[in-house]
Amino acid sequence: MITLSTLNKYKKEGKKFSCLTCYDAMFAKMMENAAVDTILIGDSLGMVVQGHDSTLPVTIADMAYHTANVARSNKHALIMVDLPFMSYVTLEDAIANARTVMQAGAHVVKIEGGAELCDLVAKLAAAGTPTCVHLGLTPQSVNVFGGYKVQGKSDDSANKLLNDAKALVAAGAAIVLLECVPAALAKAVTAAVNVPVIGIGAGSDTDGQVLVMHDMLGVTHGRTARFVHDFLTDERNTARSVEGAFALYHQSVQEGSYPTEAHQFK
């Protein structure tokens, strides 16, 4: 089974690892068969499963339900779970909601924000709950950003993100996730911290990569993000199957053929 110790070992060895979102038992078993390293039960389920326009309506009960579905079926991957919008504003809420998803089967909880989360990260770590901190484009703050836009493009915003990552790791964060930031910034963050860094739209130099499962299977509506690749119809997926797409994604991340320069922001 993949653990935090495994991912830390991979970082030291320079070995890339894969992550996909997942929300149910059937796909979780396929990901286990494909040897996907980590699974994220993302609040993206609000859009791809529930049909909302954003992640904001998702509740902690929703997250616990889907976490339990995945945990019952996949015994291989490290399981990370989003704490949804406004579920960790107070320390009391954060501890109670982290307990809920950890008891449902999570190994790590994911929270969005910068250095202001340091106290919370430290408290959760002391209570035995590892955190993944999500920096860059944080979907729960989409109304603050005014849309889904690349973050960290100016020197000031890039320096803030780098300093936030360092502070959060010093506070006890176990993993950093970077979304939609320039590749050079993601490379700098990855080199600056001693914990695994996962990227999505963050170039090829992070320790791991994550995609929303529906996106990498070509199940999308409207415009496809630059960093998305359809692994289901990729000619290298000789099985022409969903499980084959998962396996190809895992292999492509490990060998460094995904993401390419075309998938990154400069």
pLDDT in tens, 112-141: 999 999 999 999 999 999 999 999 988 776
Look up residue 229 and give its DSSP letter: -
CATH no. for 4-263: 3.20.20.60
> What does the domain layout of the chain look like in residue ranges?
4-263
Q: Put residue 256 in one of left, alpha, beta given phi > 0 → left and psi -120 to 50 → alpha.
A: left
Q: Of these residues, 116, 179, 235, 243, which one is catalytic?
A: 179
Does 179 participate in catalysis according to the annotation?
yes
pLDDT in tens, 39-80: 999 999 999 999 999 899 999 999 999 999 999 999 999 999
| pTM score | 0.95
For residue 87, give the nearest of 43, 150, 126, 130 by alpha carbon: 43
Whether a cis peptide bond, with omega within 30° of 0, leads into 259 is: yes
Overall size of the chain counted in residues: 266
